[in-house]
Amino acid sequence: MRSVGVFWKSFELAVDNKLFRCYTTKEFANYFQIGGVFLKKYDTGPRKALLAFLKEHYYKPFSIEEIAQMLCSDEDISVSSVYRNINKMVQEGTVKRFSADGSRKFLYQFLDRSDCRGHMHLKCEGCGLLFHMESSAMAEILSSAMQRCNFSIDVGKTVLYGSCKNCV
């Protein structure tokens, strides 16, 4: 399927007796893709509350249990809503998921920048802050991994653990 440009108005198109709806770019932003299927984003009350909580505490990672404990006591949100919405946010790239101290437990943290998929992240084990790696340092690591190990790193999924300058 070819892209033919930006549409200012939505319209329907019939091809081989199948009706397709063509969306404007703004309308299409309300959808996300899972396994090649586009699904409509719904900003439900629980989703809005979860997103507001994570944005407010962007500097700190939380487990699902911590998020549920904090949100379910104040808001009318079920634990299953927290699980469902946090997983959608991870798929959308709004939230970063990483393992806690090498365990099977996961922590979740809001990503305050839209370009996170193009950066490696640095995670401080002392204070829990998540940083973007500087582009030149990241380029050196990527180049070295390819030249010395013949290995390509997926930067959007890479988190390096250590200590920030405040925790050293």
In a domain, 100, yes or no: no
Number of domains in the chain: 3
pLDDT of residue 91: 82
Q: How far is CA 128 from CA 71, 131, 162, in A?
A: 20, 10, 10
Instruction: Annotate 54-70 with DSSP letters as a single string.
Output: HHHTTTS-B-HHHHHHH
In a domain, 102, yes or no: no
DSSP state at residue 110: E
What is the domain-level CATH number for residue 72? 1.10.10
14-39 pLDDT per residue, tens: 556 666 666 555 555 555 554 444 45
In a domain, 62, yes or no: yes
Residues 50 and 30 in one domain: no
53-93 pLDDT per residue, tens: 998 888 788 999 899 888 877 667 888 888 989 998 888 77
In a domain, 106, yes or no: no
Residues 78 and 32 in one domain: no
In a domain, 104, yes or no: no
In a domain, 31, yes or no: yes
What is the domain-level CATH number for residue 162? 3.30.1490.190
Instruction: Annotate 7-51 with DSSP letters as a single string.
Output: -SS-EEEEETTEEEEE--HHHHTTEEEETTEEEE----HHHHHHH
Residues 6 and 49 in one domain: no
The model's confidence at residue 118, banded by pLDDT at 50, 70 and 90, is confident
Residues 165 and 118 in one domain: yes
In a domain, 147, yes or no: yes
- The domain in which residue 20 lies consists of 1-41
The model's pTM is: 0.58
In a domain, 55, yes or no: yes
Residues 124 and 141 in one domain: yes
